[in-house]
Structure 1
């Protein structure tokens, strides 16, 4: 188990008070991870020791590693500190370390695909886009909000993380300007206070291999310095023929207790992801006038529609520093600094726009090199306040996020062997590579900062009012560097914009709460009107209400929520001036969500999530670049461990993902994917599992074809995983 921050608070007198204690007991008492207060009783005479009263308040900890559970009692994504999920007046899900392991998740795409209400859509190059409630999601790294850090960006291997927290709905109070879909918080694995070595070896039916080594433990005698190192290497052939993805990841972390109440945490990560045979898929079939997408192309769900020389490469570097101090009065102060550098480069050909019914399409070669630098900082204080006979909680803080990136790209239209210069999608290796110089380049800068506050006001014993507010600032600027250098210009700017939120939590009974919330959002729009002015930001609000229950002695959690989002001032095309925009679009996203996670019976873990979403537009239309959203989305995973009898040590699991149709140029009909697993624990150190994915070999698109690009779902495959734990 992770060691709480205040672990080294000691009372120096245990041996004198109880000379019969064993060395182990003395060690445990000396390292008691709680706040200890000793109060002497009136003096006694003779050899009788004075009576000692010990009172302690446990420090909340949202860590999921080692719990063996699919559910978590607390999360940090809603307010920068650990909060009971049942007392948060918003929809929050936690993907625990146990469920990531049981479902063999290694990428954020795989993980978010099995989170309630989230669409995870691959892009073909190791990146993806993610939506909830009809809108894009934002991201935090250990509670530090990073502008433009999730969509279409490579992320670290999940071996680096303890859990993934997902907040659905506007999160502007903590994160600033952004889409109202919600926020994903990736929380790192921390060093443990006992020595521990774990390995994972995996092979897959397409010819993939993966190895993980995880070492952690104390680095000095008193355990005040702890470390962790995680190494990952993989070499994988994908479901699509000829596509090969490699990965090397190294992660290291140190925790140091400066004093019993102050902990400094440092971490760093490095990862590379080369891809050969990169396939962006086929474009959709158009009619004779090239105006409407009417069908789909593939002859098989393993077809690679790109030449074998396609290549892409991504490298990630990341550092994180966190300083936490816990005061004796229950208050906590923390500051986190975050830096990430990403380099992406590639040289590839892809088809489109559109294709003919017999599979002929134009191709173009694109070469690009992009570098990104993110810097983020967050500082906050939080703690209890006694007033009017009740205990209230206040959090105040400030954060800053900066993204600076440089883009360079070049494109060459390729001339094919057919009369109209096209190529056959079924013979992509006929597409020859040409020299493609960079013809476009730009420097870009997105800066966001603000101050925020959240108050949990206990109006009465069963009723809590949660108020939040943020003063937000945002600026986006750019400068072209190719074909010529220009001056910096401002695309979007927001100053002194106030973002409020309000929620009520009512404890109906100890195991059931009801809640309602209101929150406002705004999103900068870096586009211009015909007159040259920038568009005002998208604005709107969400209304949400729900129930949260905790059953079976907190082993099983269930939530139900209804929501409605009003979104206005959306950028739409100017009907009088092509290539320009006006702020005239409106949309409404509404629906409900159900989620159950936990352990309904001993040794049985289950997760189930269902979402109904209805999206309507006024003077606007769905962005078919990213596609429409399924109206119904259901996700399930269950895992049972036999602990006695002839099957002792056997584990069985299974689940499914089902969704109704979506449209992106062409329509992807509804589909369901079924997976199953079986495992055996040989002893307390070694276990193995066999997982069968897409049992019925369902052919489907994760990303249906539009004018460009498509992505197949993986065909039926088998995965053998062996884990050791010492």
Structure 2
């Protein structure tokens, strides 16, 4: 009873604080944020002629913070929008935030979200046939598109080509105030390219040693004389073979956006994207033997039948309206619709049936389905001048819905030799089953950035969440779970030790509705818990270089864990604790020299629940204890090497496993190198050598099944034009 009463008092105190600032915001809105008298004037002077010259008035203004990375040429971002809906300097955000800039995407030839997150600090990207799943700090990640959160929108889901995006922002740890789903691991925000105010055309042509080609064209600029109407169109297509034998991926996509200034302070933007991916010969891989040994095969071996096929279609529409008020406040409303449809037929090995490990049972599956997301977010943000200092308030509301249908049939098609999988005959499938799912979530949120003293600031935030999940097999919809009002608080303190170095501590509450279901068909309870984080952030060399170091601890209950036996289903893992620390540096410390490096140390353990007894004490087995990522380039500015570029990087991780240490993969490192030349201001070319030492490794560590190989050594030639 005392604990409940304390919680009520905390909630009421929190709401009282927000009510105070809401009143202050209303006053600022109607009267202006800074109401000051004109020097030398008084009310009695209004009707009299001036008797003297007014003293000179000096007006100074600060350049508006912009989080856009296109055209910066740097690996270091100046700001991000993922922590507060509006651009915030990275040094002022009291949490771990990484930004994959447009320049780094280009230099590392990133074309998929998998590529970007694989080289993001603290993120583990695990391949899953033609998709992937992602985690940070031992937990799965959530996703936003231009700040609008979608439930279950990133795990195992294909994404649009990175040619359509300006940057990828990654918030590690729960972001439940600004991101309604509040995944414990963190949130990814994919931010689209916007139209430029000058005419611009760029192209990108790539060919790889695997036997593939890719072409991209990007056109943007004003569409009327006044420049109030701007547009952009990006077209991309590829036909690429992969490191695995017989695996081929085809892609065709388009992204278009129109942006119109209704007046100097109001802008409306409408965008649409369409992309089709068709994959043939894709492979889920093979598992380990019962004694933990690997099958002694080639690292390019394909264990799937020749008729494995899947086709994905992604459609997205985004409408955004922004307005900037005269008193410094701004508003933004975004409506997002996203549709993913797919169909596929495939088979995969599920483990040895006898003494010969090469003879394994194959399961075939035929499925099709659609995912329909609808989401919206509306918010206002701006400054309040109170008690002699400037503070910033943000208020908003959000709603999202996911409707899912996934009819499928799965059957045992017999025992076959995994080394001759291409000859497995395609079966005649029997009738299957289907269950429809619908998830809804809404909420209101607020955040106050309060300036206590010049070096000290406090951030307080909260969200009230409503959630419901339903299923339908036959007949009426059935409500599986419902949450009417869940209070999620957030608090942080930032202290500027010196102008370019700050220290912070933050507390985040975890509440994450989970869309996974158990093998028995039951929905999983929402994840709940808390995170404590403390760190240092620095900005050096006139803002060109960003550094950060952070220590964290997350205690989480009802953690959703992939069922190791039943594919596509989940377990309630009980209570889990993950903790560790991480370091990151990014930017352009010298003209022409870009660098990104990130290191993470992670420990995750089950505290109680099903998995504490069935899987041992080690949680997050697929998340390595040590994870290090590096990429750097240098463009010569003068002398005989002027115009040349050299670069390279590495990815290194410690041992990982699935199910138990029986299926452990030891630590490994992958090294890459690059050389490029700028022929003139319009044309550049680069040659990248990836996996220099041809290291064989698993991109997904095998269990009893599903062990996928990573890419072997390959060369990629890229030619870019810019006009």
User: TM-score, structure 1 length as denominator?
Assistant: 0.87
Deviates more, 1:132-141 or 1:612-621: 612-621
- The alignment partner of 1:106 has SS state of coil
**Residue of structure 1 aligned with 2:671, choices 674, 689, 696:** 674
- 1:209-358 counterparts in 2 under 5 A? 209-287=213-291, 294-354=292-352, 358=357
* Structure-2 separation of matches of 1:444 and 1:582: 18
In the other structure, the counterpart of 1:502 is: 491
Deviations 1:590-620 (A, max 9, x none): 0000000011222100000000000111234
Q: Distance in 2 between matches of 1:305 and 1:222?
A: 59
Q: Please give the alpha-carbon distance, in whole angstroms, between the structure 2 residues aligned to 1:225 and 1:102.
A: 31
Distance 2:272 2:373 in 1: 14
TM normalised by structure 2 equals: 0.88
Q: Tell me, yes or no, if the aligned pair for 1:367 and 1:438 is still in contact at 8 Å.
A: no
Does the alignment pair 1:466 with 2:479? no
- For residues 463 and 612 of structure 1, the distance between their equivalents in structure 2, rounded to whole angstroms, comes to 29
Shift of 1:645: 0.8
Cα shift at 1:411: 1.5
Contact 1:41 1:51 in 2 (8 A): no
Q: Compared with structure 1, are the counterparts of its residues 164 and 86 closer, same or farther at alpha carbon in structure 2 (3 Å cutoff)? A: same
1:47-70 residue CA offsets vs partner (Å, 9 max, x unmatched):
xxx999664442221000000010
Q: Please list the CA deviations of residues 657-676 of structure 1 after superposition, one character each: whole Å capped at 9, or x if unmatched.
A: 00000001411110000000
Do the aligned partners of residues 322 and 584 (structure 1) sit closer, same or farther apart at CA in structure 2, a change above 3 Å counting?
A: closer
Report the counterpart of residue 478 of structure 1 in structure 2: 471
Q: Note the C-alpha offset of 1:570.
A: 4.6
- Matched residues in 2 for 1:720 and 1:533: separation? 49
Task: Give the distance between the partners of 1:69 and 1:242, measured in 2 at CA.
Answer: 38
Report deviation, 1:295.
1.9
Q: Secondary structure at the match of 1:367?
A: strand
Distance 1:386 1:692 in 2: 55
Whole-angstrom distance in 2 between the partners of 1:543 and 1:344: 40
Alpha-carbon spacing, 1:669–1:602, altered in 2? closer, same or farther (3 Å): same
Among 200, 204, 222, the residue aligned to 2:204: 200
Deviation at 1:246, TM superposition (A): 0.3
Structure 1 CA distance for aligned equivalents of residues 522 and 103 of structure 2:
51
Instruction: Identify the match of residue 163 of structure 1 among 142, 164, 167.
Output: 167
Displacement after TM superposition at 1:354 (Å): 4.8
Q: Deviations over 1:553-598 (max 9, x none)?
A: 111110000000011245799xxxxxx9997821110000000001
Q: Which residue of the other structure, out of 148, 153, 160, is the alignment partner of 1:149?
A: 153
| 1:689 matches 2:654 | no
Taking a change above 3 Å as real, the CA distance of residues 401 and 298 of structure 1, as seen in their structure-2 partners, is farther
Matches of 2:606 and 2:698, distance apart in 1: 25
Judge which range, 646-655 or 596-605, deviates more: 596-605
Mapping of residues 100-139 of structure 1, within 5 Å: 100-125=105-130, 127-139=131-143
Sort the Cα spacing of 1:130 and 1:529 in 2 relative to 1 into closer, same or farther, 3 A. Answer: closer
- 1:414 CA drift (Å): 0.9
Change (3 A) 1:567 1:394: same
Aligned to 1:428: 421
Structure 1 gaps of 5+ residues are 1-38, 288-293, 416-421, 574-579
Partner of 1:96: 101
> Quick check: 377-386 or 595-604, which moved more?
595-604
Contact 1:286 1:357 in 2 (8 A): no
- Aligned position for 1:388: 387
- Asked if structure 1 preserves the Cα contact closer than 8 Å seen for 2:201 and 2:220, the reply is yes
* C-alpha RMSD over aligned residues: 2.8
The Cα of 1:705 is off from its aligned counterpart by 1.4
3-state SS of the aligned residue for 1:258? strand
Cα distance change of structure 1 residues 260 and 108 upon mapping to structure 2, 3 Å threshold: same
SS of 1:110's equivalent in the other structure is helix
Distance 1:236 1:91 in 2: 35
Asked whether the equivalents of residues 306 and 423 of structure 2 are also in contact (C-alpha less than 8 Å), the reply is no
Paired residues of 1:354 and 1:706 also in contact (CA < 8 A): no
Distance across 1 between alignment mates of 2:658 and 2:710: 15
